[in-house]
C-alpha cells in the first residue's frame, strides 16, 4: 500500500483533499443521486411492510384462487412432540423445519410466535396488517412517482440511451465482462466511468422489474381489476400476480445484495461519495484499501 494513513477513517473531505494525484470527476448529477436515495428508503419500507402484509396470509398460490392444500409456498406452524411450536416452510410438497426464522419466530415478548416472516423483517415489527398497508401504499406512491421522474429525466437527458442501453461493442464484450465479474476484476481510470454491459443489463432489468412489481401490485386491487382484468388473466390470475409480486420483491433484494457487494469491492467510500456528492475519483493508483488488489488485476 502506498497510501499512508488510511487505516484510520478520515472524514470524506479529507480523503478527497489528500489524493491530489487522483482526478475527481463529477459522475452523478444531483437529480439521479436524490432519486437513488429516495429509492433506497422507499424500497426498504416497501419490502418490509410487504412482508408484514404477506404474513396475514403467509402462503402463495397460482391462478385466481387460494385453494387450501394447493399452495406452492407456505410458511406454517405445527405443534412439536414436546409441545413446542415448530415453524415449517413448505415449497410444493417439500417440507423444511425453519423454526426461529420462518413460520415460528420470537414475538415482542421473546416467546415463540406463529408468524410467516420474523418481526425484525417487517414494518411494523408486531403483527399489524392495517398499519403495514398504510406504510406500503404510502411508499408505493413514493416509489412510483420517483420511478416515473427517474424515467422521464433519464430519457430527457439521454442518460438512459447513453449509459444504460448497451452498444453493439458492449454486447461483443459480454463474455469477457462475465469472466471479469466472476474474478472480481474491475476497470480503473476512465474505463470505470462507463457502465459495463452487465451493469447496463442489470439496471435495465431492474427498471423492467420495477414496472412489473407495480403492475402486479395493482393486479391485486379488486377495483383496478375492473379495468386490468385482461392483464391479470394474462399472467394467470390474481394469486399468480401476488406470487410474481413476491418473487420480484425478493429479486430486488438479490439485486441490492449484488449491487452493494460490487460497491464494496470497487471502493465503498469512493462509490458512496460518488452517489452522495457526485464526485468520483478515478486514479491509475490503487485508490483506497478496498481496491488493494487493483495492481495485479489491472488488465488494460
Partner 1 sequence: MTDRRSFLRLAIGGAASLVLAGCDRISESSWGPKVLNKAQGLNRRVQALLAPSSALAKEYTEADLSPVFRSNGTAMPTTTAYQALLANGFRDYRLQVGGLVDRPLSFSIDDLKQIEQVAQITRHDCVEGWSAIGKWHGTRLSHVLDKVGVQAKARYVVFHCYDEMDPGEPYYESLDIPEARHPQTLLAWGLNDKPLPIKNGAPLRLRVGRQLGYKQAKYIARIELVDSFAHIGGGNGGYWEDYGYEWYAGI
List residues binding partner 1 (CB under 8 A): 6-9, 44-45, 48, 53-54, 56-57, 61, 64-68, 120, 123-126, 128-131, 133-135, 137-138, 140-141, 220-229, 232-233, 238-239, 242, 264, 268-269, 289-290
Task: Scan for cell 488488465, then name that residue.
Answer: 299
Binning the chain into helix, strand and coil, the percentages to the nearest 5 are 55, 10, 30
Smaller CB separation from partner 1, 91 or 165 = 91
Say which DSSP state 101 is in. Answer: T
Question: What is the distance between the alpha carbons of residues 155 and 168, in angstroms, rounded to a whole number?
Answer: 20
Smallest gap from Cβ 227 to partner 1, in A, equals 5
Which SS3 state, helix, strand or coil, does residue 173 take?
Answer: coil
Question: What is the distance between the alpha carbons of residues 80 and 101, in angstroms, rounded to a whole number?
Answer: 16
Q: Say if CB 245 and CB 236 are below 8 A apart.
A: no
| HSE-CB for 202 with a 13 A CA cutoff | 18
Smallest gap from Cβ 172 to partner 1, in A, equals 36
Smallest gap from Cβ 239 to partner 1, in A, equals 6
Smaller CB separation from partner 1, 174 or 231 = 231
Q: Say if CB 72 and CB 91 are below 8 A apart.
A: yes
Smallest gap from Cβ 10 to partner 1, in A, equals 10
Smaller CB separation from partner 1, 63 or 152 = 63
Among 292, 300, 281, 298, smallest CA distance to 25 is for: 281
Q: Are strands 112-115 and 103-106 parallel, antiparallel or unpaired?
A: antiparallel
Smaller CB separation from partner 1, 52 or 154 = 52
Q: Say if CB 53 and CB 37 are below 8 A apart.
A: no
Smaller CB separation from partner 1, 38 or 197 = 38
Smaller CB separation from partner 1, 33 or 159 = 33
* 246 burial level (CB within 10 Å; 0-12, 13-18, 19+): middle
Smallest gap from Cβ 94 to partner 1, in A, equals 22
Smaller CB separation from partner 1, 135 or 160 = 135
Smallest gap from Cβ 102 to partner 1, in A, equals 17
Smallest gap from Cβ 225 to partner 1, in A, equals 6
Amino acid at each position: 500500500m502506498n497510501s499512508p494513513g488510511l487505516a484510520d477513517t478520515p472524514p470524506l473531505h479529507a480523503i478527497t483533499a489528500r489524493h491530489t494525484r487522483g482526478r475527481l470527476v463529477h459522475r452523478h448529477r444531483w437529480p439521479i443521486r436524490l432519486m437513488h436515495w429516495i429509492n433506497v428508503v422507499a424500497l426498504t419500507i416497501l419490502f418490509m411492510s410487504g412482508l408484514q402484509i404477506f404474513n396475514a396470509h403467509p402462503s402463495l398460490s397460482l391462478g385466481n384462487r387460494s385453494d387450501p392444500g394447493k399452495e406452492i409456498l407456505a410458511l406454517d406452524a405445527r405443534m412439536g412432540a414436546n409441545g413446542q411450536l415448530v415453524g415449517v416452510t413448505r415449497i410444493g410438497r417439500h417440507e423444511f423445519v425453519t423454526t426461529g426464522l420462518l413460520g415460528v419466530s420470537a414475538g415482542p415478548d421473546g416467546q415463540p410466535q406463529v408468524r410467516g416472516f420474523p418481526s425484525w423483517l417487517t414494518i411494523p415489527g408486531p403483527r399489524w396488517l392495517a398499519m403495514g398497508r398504510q406504510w406500503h401504499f404510502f411508499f408505493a406512491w413514493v416509489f412510483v412517482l420517483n420511478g416515473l421522474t427517474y424515467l422521464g429525466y433519464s430519457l430527457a437527458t439521454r442518460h438512459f440511451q447513453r449509459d444504460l442501453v448497451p452498444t453493439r461493442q458492449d454486447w461483443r464484450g459480454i463474455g469477457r465482462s462475465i469472466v471479469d465479474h466472476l474474478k472480481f476484476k474491475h476497470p480503473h481510470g476512465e474505463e470505470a466511468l462507463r457502465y459495463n454491459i452487465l451493469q447496463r443489463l442489470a439496471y435495465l432489468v431492474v427498471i423492467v422489474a420495477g414496472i412489473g412489481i407495480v403492475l402486479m401490485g395493482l393486479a391485486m386491487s379488486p377495483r383496478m381489476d375492473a379495468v386490468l382484468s385482461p392483464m391479470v388473466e394474462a399472467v394467470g390470475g390474481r394469486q399468480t400476480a401476488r406470487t410474481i409480486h413476491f418473487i420480484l420483491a425478493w429479486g430486488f433484494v438479490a439485486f441490492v445484495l449484488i449491487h452493494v457487494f460490487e460497491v464494496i469491492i470497487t471502493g465503498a467510500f469512493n462509490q458512496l461519495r460518488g452517489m452522495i456528492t457526485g464526485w468520483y475519483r478515478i486514479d491509475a493508483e490503487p485508490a483506497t484499501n478496498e481496491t488493494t488488489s487493483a495492481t495485479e488485476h489491472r488488465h488494460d
